[in-house]
Chains A and B, each alone.
Chain A
Amino acid sequence: MPVSPDREAEFAAFVGTYRERALSTAWRLCGGDGALAEDVAQEAFIAAHKALPRFRGDSRMSTWFYRILVRTAHKQRRKRAVREKAAALFGLEAPRSARTVEGDAPLRRRIAAALDTLSPGQRDAFVLVHMEGLTVVEAAEALGAAPGTVKSHVHRALVKLREALADAYELEGGTA
């Protein structure tokens, strides 16, 4: 199905506007793995472009794109998990980008590890709402979930993360 030139132009402008934001969201969804985040962002833009003929404009392009981005992040994270398992089972060298946190700062590694303990639903909801600044309704649309479910995920994620990171912040003199 052909895409109108106007829609193509809209999408090209969207990529320019959301490139950095997509990378940032993907980076947080992927636990700070920069290489994986770039893969996710690029695959999400490609998937969105392929799906452009089906975008009817009922929601904002950004909300529609977030849904594709989150789904792509799931897929890529699972591929990474399978590769890591395969590496362990077959004695292969693990992929270089796996589980690396940009800058390798110890606190960022702690945070990435804490995010990793959340369920996928909790992590996605928490990242979108508390780190990327989406409203609960926007996050619910992006995740294809009910707003109540997103609220619940976000609350549980916050409780878990505060527990997991309490000592890290206390050591730094924080109040958390």
Chain B
Amino acid sequence: MSTHPDERSPEQQSAPLTPEDAVFLERLRTDFQPPPLGPGAAQAFDARLAARRAAQSRRGRWAWGVGLPVALAAAAAVVMSLRVAPPPAVDAPRALPSVAAASPAEPDEAPVLALLTDTELTDDELYPDDYLALADALAWD
């Protein structure tokens, strides 16, 4: 893609480097580089890539063939349960929310919320990968 960093014209570089910076960067590049790919590593990488693509394709088909119908059935069940639920009594006195009811999380949810808080992610960033990662993490054992 590009030439070696030190061979670029000044306008292509980030900023003028002092000789000390240049020495530091050269050593950093030397000291922090991945091990070279061994013989057959490229073919092994391609084989794993093909296997991963095939697995993702199978999962995609499963999602459309099984996951989607199951999700639709679940959604339909929720809608039906809402339709058959009796309406709340108009005259019934409304109970004031108790401290327990106002608690933001059930006991089992508290660690999960703590985890998400610890990662300092905003709501926009939470979906969907963090929940998937969390689900992966909880399924380790």
Contact = CB atoms under 8 A, between A and B. Distances in A.
A155 interface: yes
Contacts of B27: 169, 174, 176
A62 interface: yes
A40 B141 CA distance: 24
B32 A32 contact: yes
Interface in B1-36: 1-5, 8, 12-15, 20-21, 23-25, 27-29, 31-35
A132 B132 CA distance: 31
A154 B14 contact: yes
A169 B26 CA distance: 12
Contacts of A66: 1
Given A82-B134, A135-B12, A175 B111 contact: no
Contact of B28 (A43, A95, A134, A161): A161
Interface string A130-150: 111111111000000000001
A142 to B, nearest CB: 9
B81 interface: no
Interface in A84-142: 85-87, 89-90, 92-93, 95, 102-103, 107-108, 111-112, 129-138
Contact of B32 (A42, A111, A129, A150): A111
Nearest to A157: B14
Interface string B36-75: 0100001001101100110010000000000000000000
B15 to A, nearest CB: 5
Which size bracket describes the interface of B in this complex?
35 or more
Contact of A111 (B23, B28, B46, B134): B28
30 contacts: A16-B42, A19-B42, A20-B37, A23-B37, A32-B34, A34-B35, A37-B34, A38-B45, A38-B48, A46-B52, A79-B132, A79-B136, A82-B115, A87-B137, A93-B141, A130-B14, A130-B25, A131-B28, A131-B29, A132-B2, A133-B5, A135-B2, A136-B13, A136-B14, A155-B14, A155-B15, A162-B24, A165-B24, A165-B28, A174-B27
Question: Which 6 residue pairs spanning A and B have beta carbons closest together?
Answer: A176-B24, A86-B137, A79-B133, A27-B34, A154-B14, A135-B12
Interface of B: 1-5, 8, 12-15, 20-21, 23-25, 27-29, 31-35, 37, 42, 45-46, 48-49, 52-53, 56, 111, 114-115, 118-119, 121, 129-130, 132-134, 136-138, 140-141
